[in-house]
Amino acid sequence: MIGDYTFGEFTSILAMQGFAGLSLFSVFVLMALGLAIIFGQMGVINMAHGEFMILGAYVTYLCSHLATEYVPVLFPVYFFAAMTLAFCASFGLGVLVEWGLIRHLYRRPLDTLLATWGLSLILQQVYRSVFGAREVGVTLPDWMMGSVALTDMIEIPINGLFVMGLTVLIAFAVYLMMARSTFGKQVRAVLQNRVMAGAVGIDTKRVDRMTFGLGCGIAGIAGSAFTMIGSTGPTAGQLYIVDTFLVVVFGGAGSLIGTIASAFTISQAQSAMEFFMSGSMAKVLTLLTVVGILMLRPQGLFTLNIRR
């Protein structure tokens, strides 16, 4: 394959494909972080995760509309407000869902899968009824459009950089919260031994609710970021759910580092393969490899030893 290109071109390809992989990586990480918290820490399979993400996207869409209509001055920075609101909306819905649905099902993980699938169908139809079946686009402020040309060949899209920066920020924040904060310690305590955690005075129910809400909230931010590069439609969430679950499982459930590492591996592998074969085949091969590795190493890349 190298034969067709000069050496200079080939390095550019590598750089650009690497960057393409990185932007896929950001999407995966943003989606998977929330899921990793919910699935990895709580053992709940949230099939409606994609719909929480789309909620964030729709909130961003609404904000972009409101900003252009009423406060055009603030338009260049509306995105930050939108992102906060997206987090709040998804967090709120998440807490509500945990209260109404999930908390009754903690002993039956497979059933959470079915119930949240039902929830995802309902949410999809809600979006369709409220926002219409058409896909909606978000208008981006000018400073987010365009690209930085590094060399003649290599151009880096600004919104891609923005999403990447956001990903690093959020990943770091989640890490801090889980590893350092009191809340994080409580979450891990509940995960490792629920009864004992309760006995030492941790409100395990509240921790569950907050954890679920947090996971959903991060999905909301993911959706908000996602509007910059993709589309927002009622069923867009479904496209990502299987990929995201694979990322989480491949990384080793319960390990945030694992999730990030697996998102990186899968996205880079897919983007590298996409250059040399058709998009469909690249996807099939990536998924097959992941499933194959999981069959050999079912616990995933990284594991925590947890007493259940």
Site residues for another protein, 100-139, by CB under 8 A, read 101, 104-105, 108-111, 113-115, 117-122, 124-125, 128-129, 133-139
For position 216 contacting another protein by CB under 8 A, the verdict is no
For position 146 contacting another protein by CB under 8 A, the verdict is yes
Query: To the nearest whole angstrom, how small is the minimum distance from the Cβ of residue 15 to another protein?
Result: 9
**Which parts of 258-297 interact with another protein (CB under 8 A)?**
271, 274-275, 278-281, 283-284, 287-288, 290-291, 294-296
Closer residue to another protein (CB): 140 or 221: 140
Closer residue to another protein (CB): 16 or 74: 16
For position 99 contacting another protein by CB under 8 A, the verdict is no
Q: How many residues bind another protein (CB under 8 A)?
A: 80
For position 12 contacting another protein by CB under 8 A, the verdict is yes
Q: Which residues contact 189 (CB under 8 A, 6 or more apart)?
A: 196, 197, 200, 202
Closer residue to another protein (CB): 139 or 204: 139
For 129-194, the three-class secondary structure string (H helix, E strand, C coil) is HHHCCCCECCCCCHHHCCEEECCCCCEEEHHHHHHHHHHHHHHHHHHHHHHCCHHHHHHHHHHHCH
For position 151 contacting another protein by CB under 8 A, the verdict is no
Query: To the nearest whole angstrom, how small is the minimum distance from the Cβ of residue 185 to another protein?
Result: 25
Query: To the nearest whole angstrom, how small is the minimum distance from the Cβ of residue 164 to another protein?
Result: 13
Query: To the nearest whole angstrom, how small is the minimum distance from the Cβ of residue 112 to another protein?
Result: 8
| Interface pick for another protein out of 56, 160, 223, 252 (rule CB under 8 A) | 160
Closer residue to another protein (CB): 19 or 87: 19
By CB under 8 A, which span of 86-94, 143-151, 176-184, 190-198 interacts with another protein?
Answer: 143-151
Closer residue to another protein (CB): 103 or 185: 103
